[in-house]
Amino acid sequence: MIHLRIVAPEEVAHQALGVLERSPAVLNIVHLHGVARKPEGDVILCDVAREEASVILGDLKALEIPRVGSIAVEHIETALSDAAEAAEKAAPGLPSDAVVWEEVEQRTSENTELSIGFLLFMVLAMQIGAVGILVDQPILIVGAMVVGPEFGPLAGLSVALVARRPDFARRSLTALGVGFAAGVVMAWLATLFYKWAGAVPDEFSTAAHNLTGFISNPDFFSFTVAFAAGIVGMLSLTNAKSGALIGVLISVTTIPAASNIGVAAAYGDWGDAGGAAAQLAINLATIVLAGVLTLLVQRRAFHERKRRHAREGT
């Protein structure tokens, strides 16, 4: 179930009440007249079956409530109510498959900001990845994958392409471009320091690193894994399944590949750097492709639900 808190002027609030009362998927409607301040108006509280949440939110946005008031969306973890069960049955589909599009856009928007925290995570993840490559330790490669925050902007770019939000897409691309560039440069500088300090050999060969050599040698499975990970990652975001997202993070070699570019550049091994760059490009492009295709399928199902809702409301 989804809980809504709506603040709107009196006239608009009564229109919103009409929308909510007509839907069998809405329950626990509470109308508090004139209690809101800043902005002034009425407050409406209600619960909505997750399957119908985006449809109801669309109707409320059509009343321009976000412009004259506000709509807050919260998750209800547990609801003990026969009425809630009836509301969920009235909404076609399953709650686990439902997508609250407003929530997806908000969540991915927050993950596309080029912040100091994002840059630190990118740089530190690639530092871990660089050490993992130098000492040939897969456990450090996995750690770098988990730490890396790059899936947020990748998901944001997918959402931006489907929603046709060029401003959103620019922010995602900027975060990715600056984040990866900063991480690669710092991995390069760190490797030069390790060489100067004598912590690593003067020569480096991918052939001698059997456990991590795959990072700079992309193949057909690089595309296959990245495509599957992109689908799972997008499903985990749209369905709020954070556990699955962790699996996505440790299945693609974006951060390790970027780390390998810096390591190989420090050793002057441009062939290895090129292989790592190809691995990175394949992973990034394939994840976005899979994310866009997943969203398009989900979006089509949502538009069909909206058309059915419009027919039922006429």
Q: What's the CA gap between 119 and 150, in Å, rounded?
A: 10
- As a whole number of angstroms, the distance between CA 296 and CA 289 comes to 11
Regarding whether 59 and 24 lie in a shared domain, the answer is yes
**Among the listed residues 131, 140, 170, the one whose alpha carbon sits nearest the alpha carbon of residue 263:** 131
Q: Are residues 175 and 295 in the same domain?
A: yes
Residue 213 resides in a domain: yes
Query: In this structure, are residues 234 and 158 in contact, taking their beta carbons and an 8 Å threshold?
Result: yes
pLDDT score of 177: 95
271 contacts 128 by C-beta, under 8 angstroms: no
Percent of the chain with pLDDT over 70: 89
Asked if residue 313 is part of any domain, the answer here is no
Mean pLDDT of all residues belonging to the chain: 86
pTM: 0.83
Are 30 and 140 in a shared domain? no
Rounded CA separation 177/186 (Å): 14
Single residue among 29, 63, 98 that ends a domain in this structure: 98
Q: Which domain holds residue 252?
A: 105-301
pLDDT at 212: 67
Assess whether 176 and 192 both reside in one domain. Answer: yes
Q: Which residue in this structure is represented by tokens 């009235």?
A: 90
pLDDT tens digits, one per residue of 195-228: 999 888 888 776 666 666 678 888 888 899 889 9
58 Ramachandran zone, left/alpha/beta (phi>0; psi -120 to 50):
alpha
Provide the pLDDT for residue 201: 84
Q: Is the pLDDT of residue 7 over 80?
A: yes
How many structural domains is the chain composed of?
2
Note the pLDDT tens digit of each residue in 145-191: 888 889 889 989 999 999 888 988 999 999 999 999 999 999 999 99
> Sign (positive/negative) of CA torsion 92, 94, 97, 102?
positive
Same domain, 42 and 138: no
| Together in a domain, 9 and 141 | no
76-131 pLDDT, tens digit each:
888 888 888 888 887 766 666 677 878 887 777 777 778 899 999 999 999 999 99
Residues 74 and 27 in one domain: yes
Last residue of a domain, one of 79, 98, 117: 98
Q: What sign has the CA pseudo-torsion 110, 116, 118, 119?
A: positive
Q: What is the DSSP letter of 61?
A: H
DSSP for 80-143? --HHHHHHHHHSSS-GGG---HHHHHHHHHHTT---HHHHHHHHHHHHHHHHHHHHT-HHHHHH
pLDDT tens for 32-44 read 999 999 999 999 9
Same structural domain, 48 and 155:
no
pLDDT at 14: 94
Domain boundary among 98, 117, 141: 98
